[in-house]
Amino acid sequence: MLEKPETRRRGSKTRARIKAFEDGKIRRRSDTLATEEPLEIRLVSGASRQTIAVTMRTPGADFELAAGFLYGEGIISSADDIRGISYCVDPEVDAEQQYNIVNVELRPGLGYDPQPLERHFYTTSACGVCGKASLEQLELRGCAVLPQGPAISAEIIYSLPEKLRQSQGLFEVTGGLHAAALFDSGGDLHALREDVGRHNATDKLFGWALMERKLPLHDRLVMVSGRSSFEILQKCLVAGVPVVCAVSAPSSLAVDVARQFGITLIGFLRDRRFNVYAFPERIRQQARRGS
């Protein structure tokens, strides 16, 4: 999957001049912000071309984001369904904006139903996809209860937040990015992606796994910064992840998905503590329980 020749691309970081107020003093200085720009995802199938989503994202790993989004929504089922991904080279589009449009060419003969994608026409970095899908939709797509997967030590779970934070290079510079990280059952980090939107970070992570032909991820853990929502659990379910951890709280529908499809869901993972909302039997605890 080759990129088209470069015109002009915005980076993942943007400089800004600010006034800093501190202890009664004011000074001018430069600050580094996480870049946020729209990305339009277009499907190309034969002579047909259709915009299926617009999301606000941090530039970088755009092809992974598009591939992960399409996989999570059931439009594609493997990397072989993608014939190619490229940035827009439409001469009618301003050159500066070409890197905000991604064309995904599907393999010949691959049909898809565009109706489920209508709710995704616009997504925000803050709350993900607008609208709420139902558990019945996941069942209709053929999503099955996940296999048992690995047993994981609670000590490994405790170690994940620090490993996540240490690997967030862009967050260290900007302080304004979410992350999604893939770990094995021994706590080793395999991949991490960052974005202003946690849903985008998750799509980038699973897009990487798809194109590297590592799916399904039945022996892996995923940790996300922020909270876990329905969309996060949906993406993890489709990717086959049996254990999902989050720094903050899950939503009620995220818990419903976890309980129905066999996902161990962990929330408030910080300061050597966490809550388990579904399937705690995957977690081994050697320490004695508190009273």
Give the other-Cβ count within 10 Å of 36's Cβ. 19
Cis peptide before 250 (omega within 30 of 0): no
CA distances from 216 to 178, 196, 288 (A): 23, 26, 34
Give the other-Cβ count within 10 Å of 155's Cβ. 13
Per DSSP, which regions of the chain are E strands? 13-22, 25-34, 37-45, 48-57, 82-87, 101-106, 123-124, 128-129, 152-153, 178-184, 189-195, 220-224, 243-246, 264-270, 273-278, 283-284
Amino acid at 259: R
Tell me which residues are annotated as active site: 127
* φ, ψ of residue 99 in degrees (nearest 5): -85, 10
Q: Which of 61, 64, 49, 53 is nearest to 106 (CA)?
A: 49
DSSP three-state, residue 17: strand
Max CA separation in the chain (angstroms): 68
**Rounded Cα distance, 27 and 17, in Å:** 11
